[in-house]
Structure 1
Amino acid sequence: MLDLAKHVVLCALLGCVYASCPPRCECSEAAHTVKCVSRDLRSIPTGIPGYTRNLFITGNQISRIGPESFKGLDNVTNLSLSNNRISEVESHTFTGLRSLRSLDLSNNQLAVIHPEAFIAQNQSLRELNLSRALYNHSSVMDLANSLRWSSLGNLRSLDLSHNSLIFLPSRIFSHLSSLQRLQLSNNSLVAIHNSTFSGLERLQELDLTLNALKTVPEEGLRELDSIYPATLLLGENPFMCKCGIEPFALWLNRSQERISDAEDLVCAFPASMRNTSMLAVGTLTLGCHQRNVGADLALQTSYVFLGIVLGFVGLIFLFVLYLNRKGIKKRIYDMRDACREVWDGYHYRFEIDSGPRLSQVSTNADM
């Protein structure tokens, strides 16, 4: 009877544990884990056990999340919401997750991110994964505003890879003062502007591989120097090795200790320079210095020659005028007399036409 009673109590306890697991989810109290993977869920399920530390809700059809989605989950430290087609994150969505340290929103379609979306208590979040998460370019501005309003002062890692980013708003990371690792790989960034990485004083690694950087102008080089001594990754960019890239090439040689893949950086264009090491690119390789000197010399010579020709033509013209000064003077006098006669004729005719009596006399005289 005693053994039977123990079994009944054990079964009852197991039943309670099983009953506390949301439908279409798998729960493990021993591992403090709840998984709701590819269950065609339309919203965050209710009844998630309070013991949960690792919560995986992935591969579903959830379109939005808000403050009511994670109530009572004070113990959750790792939350994965990847591949759910989430398009909207409301303000204070994660406020109730007091212990949250890792948040994965990758592979979603975030079109609307409210300004206070990432405000959380205790600033506990350390890792934020937004890889393949942004739906369009306008959501980048939403993200910038939410990062400025956020309580992510202790964030260590931010993943923004595979988002087709063309640009980054100025000072987008300025409130992430503790950020150590920033992944921007597999985007379409064409330039690095002033204040792009402002505020990242503790950054240790910046990944810019597989973007659309053809060169990095002096403004961008100053920005990269501002996050010294962070390690940089610049591989798989279509660098254009033509005149004007020399400052970037010299900077690469000077900063090799910071660039993990410096020896793998090669020219993509033009065809004659393809696969040439960026470290070997310089004024001697491109011949820009010599060509510029030759061009300047040729231009200066052309100007001097043109001046001499024009001066010679002017002297000839003045000499011709001098030789024909008498004839020119006579022609000028003749033109003056002819003009005077024409003017006197017009004046006489005007007086006749304006005086009726004189006009009549003139008419009778003609008769």
Structure 2
Amino acid sequence: MLGLAQRVVFCALLGSVYASCPQRCECSEAAHTVKCVSRDLRSVPTGIPGYTRNLFITGNQIRRIGPECFKGLDNVTNLSLSNNRISEVESHTFAGLRSLRSLDLSNNQLAVVHPEAFTVQNQSLRDLNLSRALYNHSSVTDLATSLRWSSLGMLRGLDLSHNGLIYLPSHIFSHLGSLQRLQLSNNSLVAIHNSTFSGLDALLELDLSLNSLKTMGEEGLRELDSLPRAHLLLGENPFTCTCGIEPFALWLNRSQGRVSDARGLVCAFPASMRNTSMLAAGTLTLGCHRSGAGADLALQTSYVFLGIVLGFVGLIFLFVLYLNRKGIKKRINDLRDACREVWEGYHYRFEIDSDPRLSQVCTSADA
């Protein structure tokens, strides 16, 4: 009887375990894991066991998540919601996950991110994966607000790669004082400015590879120098090695210890410099000065050539005048005689009009 009773109790416990697992999900109490992978779910399933530490809800059709989705899951430390087509994350969605340390929202379509979307009690969140998560580059404005308002002071790693970002709002990371790893690779960033990395005093890794950086201006270099502890990745950017690249090339030579892929950085444009090492591009300083001197010399030569041409035209004009000097002299004399006759006629009429006696004589003669 005792053995039978033990079997009944075991079956009851086993049945309760299976009963607590949501439909279309797989649960493992031993591994503290629940997986709801590619089950065509339209929302976060209810009835997730309280023992769950690792929760994987991926490859489904979940459009929105809010605070009601994760109630009673105090033990969840790793949450993956990747590849669900999520477009909206409401404020305090994860506030009930008191132990949450890693959140994966990669491969979604986040268009609306509410200001306190990533707020977690006790600031427990350490890693946030938003790779391929933003619907378009304009969503970064919502994200910037959320990063400021979501109490992420203890966040260590942030992945924003593969999001097509063309710019980063000013001070976007200023409230992430404990951030150590920042992934910005495979975007479309064309410049670093506006105090982008302000407040990242603890940053140890910064990946800016596979962007659209053609050079790094003085402001961008100051931004990178504000991260003295960070190791940088700058590979696969279309660096344009013209005279404007000099300050960056010189900075790169001084900072080889921090730029992990410095020796692999090459020029992409112009064609004559393609695949030239960026470290060697610093020698363009002298070439650029020579180029400037050549430009000045070319300009001076143009002025001299223009003067010669104008002088030659003047000589031809004078030669033509010389050949036609007689005809010109005759035309001048004729013009002078004509002017003299006109003047004498005006003078005669003036004398008649001014002397009454001459006027009367002229009148009698006309009669």
- TM-score, structure 2 normalization: 0.83
- Residue 106 of structure 1 contacts residue 133 of structure 1 at CA under 8 Å; is this kept in 2? yes
- Residue 179 of structure 1 contacts residue 200 of structure 1 at CA under 8 Å; is this kept in 2? yes
Q: Percent identity?
A: 82
How does 1:234-273 map onto structure 2 within 5 Å?
A: 234-273=234-273
- Residue 113 of structure 1 contacts residue 146 of structure 1 at CA under 8 Å; is this kept in 2? yes
- Residue 242 of structure 1 contacts residue 286 of structure 1 at CA under 8 Å; is this kept in 2? no
Give the counterpart letter for 1:212 in structure 2.
S
Distance 2:148 2:173 in 1: 8
> Cα RMSD (Å) of the superposition?
3.2
- Residue 156 of structure 1 contacts residue 180 of structure 1 at CA under 8 Å; is this kept in 2? yes
Shift of 1:276: 0.7
Shift of 1:284: 4.2
Shift of 1:294: 2.6
Give the counterpart letter for 1:31 in structure 2.
A
Change (3 A) 1:111 1:284: closer
How does 1:223-302 map onto structure 2 within 5 Å?
A: 223-284=223-284, 287-299=287-299
- Residue 84 of structure 1 contacts residue 108 of structure 1 at CA under 8 Å; is this kept in 2? yes
Note the residue ranges of structure 1 that are not aligned, 5 or more in a row: 314-326, 349-361
- Residue 72 of structure 1 contacts residue 96 of structure 1 at CA under 8 Å; is this kept in 2? yes
Equivalent residue number for residue 359 of structure 1:
none
Distance 1:307 1:152 in 2: 70
Equivalent residue number for residue 74 of structure 1:
74
Report the count of equivalent residues: 335
- Residue 195 of structure 1 contacts residue 223 of structure 1 at CA under 8 Å; is this kept in 2? yes
Deviations 1:298-330 (A, max 9, x none): 5467669989999xx9xxxxxxxxxxxxx9xxx
Equivalent residue number for residue 106 of structure 1:
106
Establish whether residue 147 from structure 1 lines up as the match of residue 133 from structure 2.
no
Give the counterpart letter for 1:84 in structure 2.
N
Give the counterpart letter for 2:227 in structure 1.
I
How does 1:1-367 map onto structure 2 within 5 Å?
A: 1-284=1-284, 287-299=287-299
Distance 1:23 1:221 in 2: 54
Distance 1:81 1:31 in 2: 19
SS at match of 2:91: coil
- TM-score, structure 1 normalization: 0.83
Note the residue ranges of structure 2 that are not aligned, 5 or more in a row: 315-331, 354-362
SS at match of 1:281: helix
Deviations 1:53-97 (A, max 9, x none): 110000111000001000011111100000001000011101101
SS at match of 2:243: coil
Give the counterpart letter for 2:221 in structure 1.
L
Give the counterpart letter for 2:154 in structure 1.
N
